[in-house]
Structure 1
Amino acid sequence: MKVVGLLGQVAFPGELASVPRARRYVRDLLDTAGHRQADDALLLVSELVANSVRHSDSGRRPDGQVTVAVANHDGALHINVIDAGSAEHRPSLRAGTDPGSCTGRGLWLVDELAADWGWHDTPAGRVVWFRLSGG
């Protein structure tokens, strides 16, 4: 039997100031849940929320929002970052990403640290998600 439990979900304005707010929100949820990989989760949420603000319509519209949803799924941590999507940008790994670079490493970090990740479009926008094992 699969056990799925939503720990929390919240929408933030589509602005860079929402990155630390999203990180604090997830940190508070994970502190309560006692998740072992909280540091990885916080880094990846920061990267994905920043990507949403920079590359989706959520960051270009005055009323744009980015939603973060955190759930337990069979002992793993599953996090969705939901935005308005973009016709010009699709999530993809950059070829030849430099691990020492200060920019352009968001999805590379997700790919390196998450047990699994992906994205899909919905009628309302785009969901980029990742899973960390061993809650």
Structure 2
Amino acid sequence: MASVPRARRYVRDLLDTAGHRQADDALLLVSELVANSVRHSDSGRHPGGRVTVAVAKHDATIRIDVIDAGSPERSPSLRAGTDPGSCTGRGLWLVDELASEWGWHDTPAGRVVWFQLAGS
């Protein structure tokens, strides 16, 4: 899953330049969302699939979008009763716990899962 380290490096380089205080949280959440895209979307199931990461900063808040081909069978949702100690199934739980806001929406090109981290 080479996509995850590549996405982390990209976001780390941008946030280091911007000096954002929550870079560690952002890197963790990007890792989780890109891994979910590769595992659960058509981007990861079909040859040549793409996952795109977009980063925007407004004042002290950063917003990160993870864009993939989506999946007609699955939509992002929090699992009920997520075990924080589990090794799997915690991606969106972590996003929900750490992000100041998050959500998802479908577009004609696929799906966007996004989160925001407010700086202090």
TM-score normalised by length of structure 1: 0.87
> What is the rounded CA distance, in whole Å, between the counterparts of 1:134 and 1:29 in structure 2?
15
Residue equivalent to 1:51? 36
**Partners of 2:20 and 2:60 within 8 A in 1:** no
Secondary structure, counterpart of 2:73 in structure 1: coil
Q: Give the Å deviation of 1:75.
A: 2.2
Q: Give the Å deviation of 1:73.
A: 2.1
Secondary structure, counterpart of 1:65 in structure 2: coil
Residue equivalent to 2:97? 112
Residue equivalent to 1:38? 23
Q: Tell me which of 29, 37, 62 is aligned to 1:77.
A: 62
> What is the rounded CA distance, in whole Å, between the counterparts of 2:104 and 2:58 in structure 1?
17
**Which of the pair is proportionally richer in helix?**
2
Could you list the runs of 5+ residues in structure 1 that have no partner in the other structure?
1-15
Is 1:23 the equivalent of 2:8? yes
Q: Tell me which of 70, 73, 85 is aligned to 1:100.
A: 85
Alignment RMSD (CA, Å): 0.8
Letter in 1 for 2:22: Q
Aligned residues: 120
> What is the rounded CA distance, in whole Å, between the counterparts of 1:85 and 1:73 in structure 2?
27
> What is the rounded CA distance, in whole Å, between the counterparts of 2:52 and 2:7 in structure 1?
9
Q: Give the Å deviation of 1:17.
A: 1.2
TM-score normalised by length of structure 2: 0.98
**Partners of 2:54 and 2:64 within 8 A in 1:** yes
> What is the rounded CA distance, in whole Å, between the counterparts of 1:122 and 1:72 in structure 2?
22
**Which of the pair is proportionally richer in strand?**
1
Q: Give the Å deviation of 1:74.
A: 3.5
Q: Give the Å deviation of 1:89.
A: 1.0
Q: What percentage of residue pairs aligned between the two structures are identical? A: 85
> What is the rounded CA distance, in whole Å, between the counterparts of 2:59 and 2:95 in structure 1?
20
Could you list the runs of 5+ residues in structure 2 that have no partner in the other structure?
none
